[in-house]
Amino acid sequence: MFTVAAGSVTPLRTATAQVSVNPDLAAVARIPAVDSSSLRSVVGTLAGRSGKLLARFIAPPRVLSVAPLAGSLNYSSRVIPGIQEVAGASSIGSFSLITMRSFRDKIAGSVGNYRIGFWPQERGRAPSEAYENPEGFIEVTRENQDTRISEHFRLRDFLTHDQEDVWPKYLVLREPLLDKLELVIQELQSEGVPVRNVEVLSGFRTPQYNKALGEGSGRALDSRHQFGDAADIFIDSNRDGRMDDLNNDGRVNISDTRVILAAVERVERAHPDLLGGMGLYHATGSHGPFAHIDVRGSRARWVTGGRLASSSRRSRASKAARARAARSRSASKAKRVASASKAKRVASASKSSKRSKSIK
């Protein structure tokens, strides 16, 4: 890993050693070389809808297919994973180009010593394209874990909470999630909600970790957290480790997550390509209330203790209710008609009987 600026190379810390590489030798050494002045000019196009992204995650085979980068990078045919920072590229911090390790580097459920497990597609049960295997893994070391990837988030915020002493760790994370989170923060701020710090309660979960939690824990077997496009968050501007009182009612409870839900709804209306799930979670003995946000590509809403019906589900439920009511009315009408018809037949039979008796 290194920074290239004005023809000089500044060493960055890597998982194995610190190295200084002359740009002219980069191709020979098979280490990516970046023309920082060129990359700096295109960073604005990589900062997302929010304008707050500070990183681009790229799987090695796709490096040169990313249009804004293709003319700015000089890559060899075989690229090693790493992070390159471009100083001065953004007004909110250095921009990082992060080359991921290939998914094929996962052998028998592990990358190096870091245990990951297996995705649904590897087990032959991916229900849709949204559940395909990730493209690759971001390599996170003790040294680079504090790399800022957007205005409010760092790499370490999204790491799985296990294997504490194993380094490097590996992370799956999608830029659209970061972009959506930053847009939600902007929406909250525009409504007068102070957001100085956001805590990620749970970001990426390796399939192994997610499976170990079990469905009894409330975690879905095919949780979006395994695909790097989901995060459980709470606003903690006063840094007391709990959700802030976002609705100013003097209490901290699940009602505060509804303030986040309203912001998510506005973001999704403005950016339909960031459509996804939103879950509201009550406080427990181990944590305060929090909100789940993802970019799965389809709308989903739920709350602990029951689901929040989406508009389409509400519409279907309403239609079903109307249909049931119509059937009930129809059945009642049929019953009344049948009853009236029976009464008419009885009356008619009675009259016939009387006429018969009078004739006799």
Tell me how far apart the 2 most distant CA atoms of the chain are, in Å: 128
Per-domain boundaries in the chain? 1-99, 102-308, 320-360
Identify whether the C-beta of residue 304 lies closer than 8 Å to the C-beta of residue 291. no
* Beta-sheet pairing, 300-303 with 277-281: parallel
Helices 254-270 and 175-190 cross at an angle (nearest 10°) of 110
What is the rounded CA–CA span in Å between residue 119 and residue 143?
Answer: 28
Per-residue pLDDT reduced to its tens digit, 326-359: 566 666 666 676 766 766 676 666 655 555 444 4
Res 277 pLDDT > 90: yes
**Confidence category of residue 70, pLDDT binned at 50, 70, 90:** low
Identify whether the C-beta of residue 228 lies closer than 8 Å to the C-beta of residue 132. no
**199-225 mean pLDDT:** 87
What is the rounded CA–CA span in Å between residue 354 and residue 194?
Answer: 90
Per-residue pLDDT reduced to its tens digit, 111-152: 999 999 999 999 888 888 889 999 999 999 999 999 999 999
What is the rounded CA–CA span in Å between residue 166 and residue 228?
Answer: 20
What's the pLDDT score for residue 242? 96
Identify whether the C-beta of residue 84 lies closer than 8 Å to the C-beta of residue 3. yes
Listed ranges 35-44, 66-75, 205-214, 329-338; the one with the highest mean pLDDT: 205-214
The rounded mean pLDDT for the chain is 79
pTM: 0.74
* Amino acid at residue number 257: T
Q: Residue 144 in 3-state DSSP?
A: coil
The residue among 1 and 292 whose pLDDT is bigger is 292
**Confidence category of residue 5, pLDDT binned at 50, 70, 90:** very low
Per-residue pLDDT reduced to its tens digit, 84-118: 887 766 777 788 989 999 999 999 999 999 999 99
Identify whether the C-beta of residue 79 lies closer than 8 Å to the C-beta of residue 30. yes
**195-221 mean pLDDT:** 87
Q: How many CB atoms lie within 10 A of CB 206?
A: 28
Identify whether the C-beta of residue 35 lies closer than 8 Å to the C-beta of residue 43. no
Per DSSP, 265 falls in state: H
What is the rounded CA–CA span in Å between residue 7 and residue 15?
Answer: 24
Please return the burial class of 61, using the count of CB atoms within 10 Å of its CB with bins 0-12, 13-18 and 19+. Answer: exposed
Radius of gyration of the chain (CA): 30
* Beta-sheet pairing, 55-58 with 93-99: parallel
Q: Residue 37 in 3-state DSSP?
A: helix
**Confidence category of residue 166, pLDDT binned at 50, 70, 90:** very high
